[in-house]
Amino acid sequence: MRTGRLGQRGYASTATNLSAADPTEVLVQPSRIVNQIKDLNLSVSERAASRLSQINRDSHEVLKVGIESGGCHGFQYTLQLIPESQLDLQTGLMKGGEDAATAKAAEDEFEDAENAKLTIYELNDSTGKVAIDPQSLKILNNTVLTYTKELIGSSFKISGGSLKSSCGCGSSFDVDVEA
Is residue 30 classed exposed, middle or buried when 0-12, 13-18 and 19+ CB atoms within 10 A define those classes? buried
Q: Residue 150 interacts with other proteins (CB under 8 A)? A: no
Helices within the chain (DSSP H only): 46-59, 100-107, 113-116, 134-139
Give whichever of 26 and 169 is closer to other proteins, judged by the CB atom.
Answer: 169
Q: Residue 65 interacts with other proteins (CB under 8 A)? A: no
Give whichever of 146 and 155 is closer to other proteins, judged by the CB atom.
Answer: 155
Q: Which stretch binds other proteins (CB under 8 A): 22-30, 47-55, 66-74, 82-90?
A: 66-74
What is the bridge-based pairing of β-strands 42-45 and 27-28? antiparallel
Least Cβ distance, residue 126 to other proteins (angstroms): 26
Least Cβ distance, residue 178 to other proteins (angstroms): 10
Cβ atoms of 18 and 159 closer than 8 Å: yes
CA pair distance 97, 88, nearest whole angstrom = 12
Question: Residue 15: how many CB atoms within 10 A of its CB?
Answer: 22
Q: Which stretch binds other proteins (CB under 8 A): 27-35, 94-102, 118-126, 169-177?
A: 169-177
Burial code of 150-176, b = ≥16 C-beta within 10 A, e = fewer? eeeebbbbbbbbbbeebeeebbbbbbe
Q: Residue 99 interacts with other proteins (CB under 8 A)? A: no
HSE, side-chain direction, 13 A CA sphere, residue 159: 20
Q: Residue 168 interacts with other proteins (CB under 8 A)? A: yes
Q: For residues 36-55, which are near other proteins according to CB under 8 A? A: none
Q: Residue 160 interacts with other proteins (CB under 8 A)? A: no
Give whichever of 58 and 150 is closer to other proteins, judged by the CB atom.
Answer: 150
Q: Name the residues that contact other proteins, by CB under 8 A.
A: 1, 3, 5, 14, 66-76, 106-107, 109-112, 115, 133, 135-136, 139, 152, 165, 167-172, 174
